[in-house]
Chain A
Amino acid sequence: MKSRAIFLAVMFIGLFGCGGSRPVTSTDTLPPGYQQAMVERRDWPAENAEERLMTDRAPFDLEIGVVVFDDGLQNPDSRDARDKLRSVESRLAAVLLRDTLTRSGLWGPVRVLPSKTQFAELTITGAIGHSDGRDLLVQISAVDATGRSWVDQTFRAVATSEHYMESDPMPFRGLFVAIANQLLRAAEGLSRDEMLDIKELAGIRYAAELAPEIYSDYLEDVDGRWALQRLPASDDPMLMRIARIRNQEALFIDTVDEQYVDLWDALGPTYRMWQRSGYEQAQYLDEYTARASARELEASRGSFAAMQQVYSTYRSVRIQEQDLFELATGFDNETAPTVLSAGDRVVRLSGTLDQQYQEWRQLLGQIFALEYGL
């Protein structure tokens, strides 16, 4: 980031540094910022998207939590349109992965979690490394309740013009299919006992998070992997109460899930248009670079056609970004309060979904502590 900032600073000193005088004409015909993208691109893995979603296998009764992807933003209140887009994409990507896993029919409940918690038996986290409508790179990590890593891999899909000709284009469907298939392969490598361990540990780790004074002794951390020291009695009343609280947390997650569906309904069409436009722009950039290296551009520089193409592209990019930004901001502002009942109380939660989720968890913890005098 620092080198990027220096590059930009140098560029602008060059271009606009002399107040009032004509900017120095750049002899570099590459679009600004493109060189950095090329350097990053070298590190991209080969495409590993998969066409076919594996469904013809024995199912696994495992609860999966897909955490909203990390948007990597230093400043969550950023007003930059592309930051806002990345933030929206991070949520949409988690929804798409959830939908793909659900579609396979091989798992238990698959939920989108507003933030990472010890709720699910298998927790998937992800981060978008690059997204421009043509290339999508996603780093995925899936860790079960024992701390075992199932998947820790970068997935890459490349869209083609054929993808965008479909009536309901989902150019990166193959990336989410690859993630789902990879999870399935990992699951098939585990024994039945190992699967049972995951389920038992998930329950006790959740209990230990709620009542650490009581349940942390049941757990042992061996080099980052969790093991059970012992198990509480099957009729442990406190454990039964914890199970009820966990169900209430699941209720919250399912309730806010509707908001993720709303997000997709509201932003999906515009997001897809943005992706299509991004695809065309990425293609244009490649052609532009090829022409620049072939020195074809020198002949047309300064012509009306060349300038109009450059300006129209920029105008189109900015309009697309701003339109999606306004929609995304509108969605943030309209995040609905969630009304839920907790025991004999009705609770109204507000703020972002992440804030609501944290508030709800806090509340459940307080109720539990009050009931047991902890």
Chain B
Amino acid sequence: MTGDWEVDHGRSDNVQRQLNSLFRQLQQEIERRNRAAERGQTYSGPPLSSGRDLIALAEMADIITAPELLEVIQTENEIRLKRENSFALICVVDRPAPIVTSTPFGVEQCGWDGHQLFFDIALPDGLQIRHRITRSSLADSLVMQTAVYSPTVSQPFTVSKVYTRYDPTKAGYRCTQTLTRGTVCTTEAAESQ
């Protein structure tokens, strides 16, 4: 997987479209319940999510899946997915999965699940994020499927992003995110760094 990857917007999910689709499902569910109520039947489905909570979840999914560039470094021991403007997803792969990283602010577990690399992140308040990364050798692309769970919405909001390889030096400049200096860009080629 090692290399630089960028989002292929044409093959990736659009959050707005996903949201519209979920709203349609919600609408259908409401109609089903109304029809059941008119017939005097009890409807035993999961509790309905509110539209407001659904939009909140979609907005969160949009933020979480915002990184458009990935730099992947894969060694025998570790896979590191550096994401633009976000924290890197890092997994030690020379030990049996899951590898658990716990902080007071969240618990991360990762590992290989068959041919998928997974990162499951459990955050306070029941916010949970599941990333599933699959390599497609046929089209030389990476697919990152991200499911975001909220405690108030009955189903996850799922976004799939397809990444294809790119050469960061062709842009004429390259940028890295640093803690002390923010985003630092250089026109120097990678080889000369």
A contact residues vs B (CB 8 Å cutoff): 4, 8-9, 11-12, 15-16, 22-23, 25-26, 29-34, 37, 79-82, 269-270, 273, 281, 285, 288, 297, 301-304, 306-308, 310-311, 313-315, 317-320, 322-324
5 further A-B pairs in the complex, CB-CB below 8 A; given A33-B103, A302-B57, A302-B150:
A26-B122, A301-B125, A307-B57, A314-B123, A315-B86
Q: How far is the CB of A291 from chain B (nearest CB, A)?
A: 11
A-B contact pairs, 7 of them (CB 8 A): A32-B106, A33-B103, A285-B104, A302-B153, A303-B56, A304-B55, A319-B87
Q: How far is the CB of A149 from chain B (nearest CB, A)?
A: 35
CB–CB B107/A12 < 8 A: yes
Chain B residues closer than 8 Å to A4, beta-carbon distance: 102
CB–CB A15/B128 < 8 A: yes
Q: How far is the CB of B96 from chain A (nearest CB, A)?
A: 13
Tell me which of B3-11, B14-22, B58-66 binds A. B58-66
B44, CB-defined interface residue at 8 Å: no
CA distance A269 to B90 in the complex (A): 24
Most chain A Cβ neighbours within 10 Å, of B53, B100, B102, B123: B102
CA distance A275 to B161 in the complex (A): 35
CB–CB A22/B120 < 8 A: no
Chain B residues closer than 8 Å to A25, beta-carbon distance: 126, 149, 151
CB–CB A31/B56 < 8 A: no
Q: How far is the CB of B55 from chain A (nearest CB, A)?
A: 8
CB–CB B120/A15 < 8 A: yes
Q: Knowing A31-B106, A288-B124, say if A302 contacts B56 (CB, 8 Å).
A: yes
Chain A residues closer than 8 Å to B92, beta-carbon distance: 79
When A and B form their complex, which 4 residue pairs have the shortest distance between CB atoms, in order from nearest?
A302-B152, A318-B87, A304-B56, A323-B179
B72, CB-defined interface residue at 8 Å: no
CA distance A12 to B111 in the complex (A): 13
Q: Knowing A79-B77, A318-B87, A323-B178, say if A29 contacts B124 (CB, 8 Å).
A: yes
B contact residues vs A (CB 8 Å cutoff): 53, 55-57, 59-60, 63-64, 77-78, 86-88, 90, 92, 98, 100-107, 109, 120-128, 130, 149-156, 177-180
Q: How far is the CB of B181 from chain A (nearest CB, A)?
A: 10
CB–CB A311/B178 < 8 A: no
Q: Which partner residue on chain A sits nearest B86 by CB separation?
A: A315
CB–CB A322/B124 < 8 A: no
Report the tally of A-B residue pairs with Cβ distances under 8 A. 139
Q: Which partner residue on chain B sits nearest A304 by CB separation?
A: B56
Most chain B Cβ neighbours within 10 Å, of A12, A288, A318, A324: A318
Among candidates B103, B120, B151, residue contacting A82 with C-beta atoms closer than 8 Å? B103
Most chain B Cβ neighbours within 10 Å, of A23, A270, A273: A23
Q: Which partner residue on chain B sits nearest A11 by CB separation?
A: B107
CB–CB B127/A281 < 8 A: no
CB–CB A26/B104 < 8 A: no
Among candidates A33, A82, A310, A322, residue contacting B125 with C-beta atoms closer than 8 Å? A310
Chain B residues closer than 8 Å to A315, beta-carbon distance: 86-87
Q: How far is the CB of B77 from chain A (nearest CB, A)?
A: 7
Q: Knowing A281-B105, A311-B63, say if A273 contacts B124 (CB, 8 Å).
A: no
Q: How far is the CB of B141 from chain A (nearest CB, A)?
A: 23
CB–CB A270/B124 < 8 A: no
Among candidates B87, B126, B152, B154, residue contacting A26 with C-beta atoms closer than 8 Å? B126
Q: How far is the CB of B105 from chain A (nearest CB, A)?
A: 5
Chain A residues closer than 8 Å to B56, beta-carbon distance: 302-304, 307
CB–CB B102/A310 < 8 A: no
